[in-house]
């Protein structure tokens, strides 16, 4: 054990203070989204700004560099050494940008995002372009600064902020293969879908209305069955569903409409995946970076594992349909068989909007953005050329046009206007990791699908707790995937998942 006044213990004590600030920041953010009155916004922003400043000042203090170096020379066990390595990585990433640069960056991002919010509805790309050029220039400068500090290529240095260890050289060929596969697969899925619909006499309409209190009861019952711990979390309502809070107090939200119940329920199932990951992290390491979730791809893999691999499977709905009737009433899906409901749950359709896309078309939306943002950061694509690049890829990948339609094209997401570059790959990498985890789980636990049919999720969660949750940030994203599944990222698992679901 490190001595009481050792460098390691100094880092641990700092970590406890930072964790307390993180806890306060998180709860203030949740309250703002869920129940804060409109008039509280100004003071809330001031409070969160001050806390953010305190956090950054404490987390980047010069003496931390000395503590990290000294701790590396102390007698530490394997997990303590991993904690120091991860803390060093975080510290380097937080200190490689100067205060002057960060202030300049904040101004450019705020100007860009504010203009985006104003001009997107007006479809005014020309008016938005100067601010977008500014935020891209700042992103390129940030990428160069991070690349120099980390010894990486510029775009890899940006991805490192979201998924430590991911590299474009590894991701690009995987995405290229997936893109080729999906361009052939989606038309086949459409054709198969139409055949199924014809055999069932068409797509049956949902028997609305669905009272919100009954939908909430259904969602809570599903959350409980999936293993969510209500002693350390709760479900609320917000404008946009999210999972926040801290591992000992996970806050999830959804939104309801009485016209149908599936969007709310699937949103709850998705966010429960995030919540289970947070609740499964090692509590004894919560004050160190090594005890936190391993980046965006793995966090998304855990939500998509629960939503896609479990929540949209036929086996899950064999168990869930009686639950729907129990909570929403027999008339909710009166006269329905599971095939009727699965036609809704597995609907395939093309569209311009990423957040509305199904799991077969969604990856192409992400790959399109990955290719463009990589070009923007590397300087091979100019900001003013983004609409044409977008249209060309949307036409090729999904057969849709965004010519002169900016609000449904390059202005539809807030990520780039707010300066988030290197983030988009995480969405589809998460889906691919989820499929790979499921394939590995079934090898270790062949009865997993029978478990779902019977509403049993203990062994499924236990496998993920052992392979993913308990490992937290001990390894990089690629290393953790190999540790969990025995192989590097393999897109064939995702392809097989889609074939089984949409062509069987």
Catalytic residue annotation: 271
Kindly report whether the peptide bond that precedes residue 455 is cis, defined as omega within 30 degrees of 0.
Answer: no
Alpha helix (H) residue ranges in 96-243: 99-119, 125-150, 154-159, 168-199, 212-226
Q: How far apart are CA 376 and CA 370, in angstroms?
A: 10
Q: Which two tokens stand for residue 210?
A: 């669905």
| Adjacent-strand bridge partners of 405 | none
| Alpha-carbon span 209 to 465, nearest angstrom | 38
**What is the helix (H) or strand (E) element at residue 19, kind and residue range?**
helix 7-34
Query: Residue for token digits 């983030």?
Result: 423
| Chain center to CA of 158 | 16
Q: Which two tokens stand for residue 301?
A: 């893999």
Helix (H), strand (E), coil (C) string for 333-352: HCCCCHHHHHHHHCCCCCCC
Q: Could you give the strand order of the β-sheet that contains 249-254, starting from the edge strand earlier in sequence?
A: 233-237, 249-254, 243-246
CA-nearest of 307, 324, 323 to 210 is: 324
Length of the chain: 504
Cα separation values, 121 from 110, 127, 205, 407, 491, Å: 18, 12, 31, 7, 37
Dist CA 451 CA 282 (whole Å): 26
Largest CA distance in the chain: 74
Residue 123's CB: how many other CB atoms inside 10 A? 16
CA distance 70 to 66: 6
Q: What is the dihedral of CA 175, 176, 181, 187, to 10 degrees?
A: 90
Residues 109/135, Cβ–Cβ less than 8 Å: yes
In terms of Cβ atoms closer than 10 Å to its own Cβ (0-12, 13-18, 19+), residue 164 is: buried
β-partners of residue 246 are 249
Q: What angle do CA 336, 339, 342 make, to 5 degrees?
A: 105
**Nearest-angstrom CA–CA distance, 114 and 128:** 10
Token pair of 187 as six digits: 């038309």
Distance CA 42, CA 38 (A): 9
Angle between helices 425-444 and 492-502 (to 10 degrees): 80
Nearest to 492 by CA among 49, 57, 185, 242: 185
């Amino acid at each position: 054990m490190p001595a009481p006044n050792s460098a390691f213990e100094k880092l641990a004590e700092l970590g406890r203070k930072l964790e307390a600030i993180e806890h306060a920041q998180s709860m203030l953010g949740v309250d703002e989204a869920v129940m804060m009155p409109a008039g509280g916004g100004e003071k809330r922003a001031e409070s969160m700004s001050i806390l953010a400043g305190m956090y950054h000042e404490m987390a980047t203090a010069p003496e931390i560099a000395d503590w990290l170096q000294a701790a590396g020379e102390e007698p530490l066990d394997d997990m303590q050494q991993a904690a120091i390595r991860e803390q060093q990585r975080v510290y380097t990433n937080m200190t490689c940008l100067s205060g002057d640069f960060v202030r300049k960056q904040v101004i450019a991002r705020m100007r860009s995002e504010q203009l985006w919010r104003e001009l997107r509805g007006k479809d005014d790309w020309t008016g938005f372009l100067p601010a977008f050029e500014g935020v891209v220039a700042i992103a390129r400068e940030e990428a160069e600064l991070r690349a120099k500090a980390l010894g990486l290529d510029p775009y890899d240095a940006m991805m490192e902020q979201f998924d430590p260890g991911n590299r474009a050289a590894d991701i690009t060929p995987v995405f290229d293969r997936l893109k080729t596969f999906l361009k052939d697969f989606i038309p086949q899925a459409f054709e198969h879908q139409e055949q199924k619909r014809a055999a069932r006499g068409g797509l049956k309409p949902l028997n609305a209305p669905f009272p919100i209190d009954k939908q909430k009861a259904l969602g809570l019952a599903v959350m409980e069955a999936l293993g969510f711990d209500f002693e350390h979390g709760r479900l609320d309502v917000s404008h946009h569903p999210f999972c926040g809070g801290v591992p000992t107090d996970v806050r999830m939200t959804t939104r309801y409409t009485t016209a149908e119940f599936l969007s709310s329920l699937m949103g709850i199932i998705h966010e429960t995946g995030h919540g289970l990951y947070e609740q499964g992290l090692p509590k004894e390491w919560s004050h160190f970076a090594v005890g936190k979730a391993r980046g965006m791809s793995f966090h998304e893999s855990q939500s998509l594992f629960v939503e896609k691999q479990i929540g949209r499977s036929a086996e899950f709905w064999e168990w869930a349909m009686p639950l729907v009737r129990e909570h929403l009433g027999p008339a909710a899906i009166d006269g329905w068989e599971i095939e009727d409901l699965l036609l809704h749950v597995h609907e395939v359709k093309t569209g311009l909007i990423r957040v509305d896309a199904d799991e077969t078309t969604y990856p192409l939306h992400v790959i399109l953005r990955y290719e463009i943002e990589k070009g923007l950061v590397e300087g091979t694509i100019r900001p003013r050329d983004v609409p044409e690049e977008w249209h060309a890829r949307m036409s090729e990948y999904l057969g849709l046009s965004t010519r002169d339609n900016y609000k449904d094209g390059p202005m539809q997401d807030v990520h780039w206007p707010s300066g988030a570059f290197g983030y988009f790959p995480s969405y589809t990498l998460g889906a691919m990791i989820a499929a790979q985890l499921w394939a590995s789980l079934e090898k270790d636990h062949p009865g997993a699908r029978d478990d779902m049919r019977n509403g049993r999720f203990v062994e499924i969660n236990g496998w993920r707790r052992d392979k993913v949750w308990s490992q937290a940030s001990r390894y990089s994203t690629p290393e953790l995937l190999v540790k969990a599944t025995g192989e590097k990222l393999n897109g064939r698992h995702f392809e097989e998942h889609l074939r089984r679901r949409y062509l069987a």
